[in-house]
Structures are given as structure tokens and as C-alpha cells.
Amino acid sequence: MSEYTVVNPATGETLATYDAITDEALESAVAAADAAYRTWRDTPVAERAARIRRAAELHRERRDELAAIIVREVGKPLAAALGEVDFAADITEYYADKAEAITGDAPIEIQGEGTAVIRRSPLGVLLGIMPWNFPYYQVARFAAPNIVVGNTILLKHAPQCPESAAAIEDIYREAGMEGVYTNVYATNDQAATLIADRRVQGVSVTGSERAGSAVAELAGRNLKKVALELGGSDPFILLSTDDLDGAVQAAVDARLDNTGQSCNAAKRFIVADGLYDAFVEKFTAAMTATTPGDPTDEDTVIGPLSSLTAAERLQAQVDNAVAQGATLAAGGTRDGAFFAPTVLTDVTSDMDAYREEFFGPVGVVYRVADEEEAIKVANDTPFGLGSYVFTTDEAQAARVADRIDAGMVYVNVVLADEPGLPFGGVKRSGTSREMGLLAADEFVNKKLIRIA
């Protein structure tokens, strides 16, 4: 039975199927990763960095090929697919550049004589369980820092991403890291077996709350370190502006990035009373002016959702919100896996939509009286990944940023991620940090060495 299947969401056509790995082949993959770790951990840092740098170069050399794969696998618009490959290359190169910083000793000031340092040592084989929405970017931010510090990787990608998964493995192999990075077409049951395997020292999962909870339970049962990056329902708070059109465009850009299928996309738009009516009018016009198109066209801004199932799920959420009393200001329709940009208003705290994550081009707009109410609405969610604050008042920006329950706050800017900025959340959005220097501390032994 095929577990991994490429279905073009734009056409519904099944393009390729791949069988899940056999138990025997999986055992061989774990043994090879464990054996590779025994030598990789002792490979000089400069050499590990050089090989990771070569992986970044190969991303760039194969840019067009890699982008084309995820256009057909998940319907990502071509321009966005090219941008994702570029970002994955930048992240990978970042860790090559920072190899000494993330592996060097950290001295500790002590009271007695002698010295003390924290020495970062690798743990061993790690399992990564990755999602479909950013097939290259997600892998880069997990694999690159951990390979540089000396760990080895087993990577279980999403079942709808088998070709991009194989393409990444080819890159690491050709960069001289065979066994250091291994793709496995594993089933969920086989992933559970990997988590329990004594040779696997930790697991990182990016995905839904349900997936994160299941993995965390297995990891806890087996006393394994786990890193989680889960969902989000990020607030976009607009308190004041001297450029409403610019703020509206930022809101649309933050909502429609990756056709709305981004964990840290702005999803809830919390607008001060004096700006609300004008914002809703302009936001609705700008959202509806963006129509889904052919993902192979470089001018397409949003394509289909990742699958027909995803579009049907989003349709059910929107229909339920309207049935419970929300106002459909625009959109709410789909054509196959294509979903029209949608705006909901009048959502109240007794509706399911108030606490759900809409994983697609749906924006929910809330009216608030003042800063205090804006913060209350922003925090009244089980999620805590990212957030956005727009205000002309510098002191207000600092106050609001300090009080938002989220792992990231962006003030007067959207889509400003970069390799050196840590990514992660709190509450049901996760437990860890990826990217930046913090990412390299997730799966290392921070060993104290005290010398008299």
C-alpha cells in the first residue's frame, strides 16, 4: 500500500506514489545514522561547516528544479516556491557561517580558583517529523544547525511531499553527508517505533496540535527530548496609523502568505474602534482583489490549498462560523482546492471560530475599544506563536509587545523573518525555538567542565 503520494492540488491528478519504507530498511537506516554519528561527531567543525555550506550551494544550483517540485506537490505559487528555496539556502548557509559560535565553549565566571565552561556536545541520532506547507524551509531550520553541532538526522516528511523529501536527501548526500541525513518514508506507526528506539536521542515535530501531542506523549514515555512547533492564530493589532493603506496592505500580505497556510500568518485582525470601519472596507477590497490562480504562473499570488481535503475542512469552518452568527463580509467559496480570500466579522467568544486556527486565506476582524481590550482579545487564544502590532506610538508599541503572550512580536512590519531570528511559540503553539543561535541549543548536551 502506498503511503506517500503526489497529488497536484490544482488539478486533482495523482502524479506519483511511493511505498512506505519496510521495517527492515528502516532498521538499516537507523543503524547507518547511528554509525555515521560515531564519526560525524568527531569530524572537525570546519569540515562539518564546509559540507553544510555545500548543501546551501546545491539548493541554489537546483533552485528551479526544487521549486517546480513543490508547486506540483502542494500547489505553492511558483514565485513563493522559488523564494522558499532561496530562504532554505540562506538558513543553511547561516549555520555554516555560525559553526564556531554554536559549537564553541561558553566560559562561566566562578568564585573559586580555576575555570569552568559549558561545552556543547551532540546527542546522537535525531528524528525530524516535518509538515507539507514549507517542505524545504522547515527541513533547513531543523537539519542545518543540528548537523553542524554533530548530530545526525532521520527525516520523516509529510506523506504528500515524497519528491521534495528525496530531493533534499540527494542534496545532503552529494554534499558529503550520506548517513548524516537520511530520508525515511515512514508510517506513523514506524515513527513511533523510531521514537522508542534507544539509538534515537530526540525528536522534533512541526505540525498540528494533534500531531505534536501524540509525539510528545511518545517522547515522554521514552524519556526523549522533544521540540514542538505547532499551530498559531496570530493577532494583527492595529491601534493607530498615519498610513492606513499601508497597514491594510501589510495585513493582507501577512494573511495571504503561502495562500494563508502558514503557522505564523496573521489570522485575527484586532482593530481600534476609530479605524475599524475604514479598515474593514479597505481590507475586504484588497483581499477580494487577490484571486486564486495557476500556481505555475510566476504572477500568481495565491494558489490552491494543499489538498482538496484541506479546502473542504476550511469550507466547513467558515460555514460553521456563519451558522453560529458571524458575518461573511466577503468570500467563503471554493472551487475544488482553490479557496476565495475570505473576511469574517462579528465573531464572538462563544463561537468556535473565536479559538480555531483558519489554515487558509481567511481573515477574522475584531473591533476593540482601546489598547487594553486589544491585548485581552489578542491573548484570549490557546495559541501563542507570533503577533503583529501596528501603532505610531513608540511607548505603546513597547507596552503591548511586552504584554502579548507569544513567542514573537513584530512591530510595524510583516514577513520579516530571517535566519538569525529565533522562531517559536508558547502555550499550544510549541515548546522550542528554531532558527537563530537558539536553534542549535535544542539538541545538545550543555556539559559543564570545571577545572581546579
Pick from 445, 232, 195, 272: nearest CA to 358? 232
3-state secondary structure of 116: strand
Catalytic option among 161, 163, 169, 263: 263
Whether 161 is catalytic = no
Q: Are 133 and 229 in contact (CB under 8 A)?
A: no
Describe the chain by its helix, strand, coil percentages, rounded to 5: 45, 20, 35
Q: Report the SS3 class of residue 201.
A: strand
Give the separation between CA 387 and CA 314, rounded to whole angstroms: 22
Write down the catalytic residue from 73, 84, 169, 229: 229
Give CA–CA dist 216/402, Å, rounded: 29
Q: What is the rounded distance in angstroms from the CA atom of residue 89 to the CA atom of residue 55?
A: 8
* Cβ-based burial of 299 (10 A; exposed 0-12, middle 13-18, buried ≥19): exposed
β pairing state of 125-129 and 152-156: parallel
DSSP for 338-361 reads: EE--EEEE---TTSGGGT----SS
Active site residue 229: yes
Torsion of CA 44, 45, 49, 51, to 10 degrees: 20
Q: Are strands 342-345 and 327-330 parallel, antiparallel or unpaired?
A: antiparallel
| Catalytically annotated residues | 229, 263
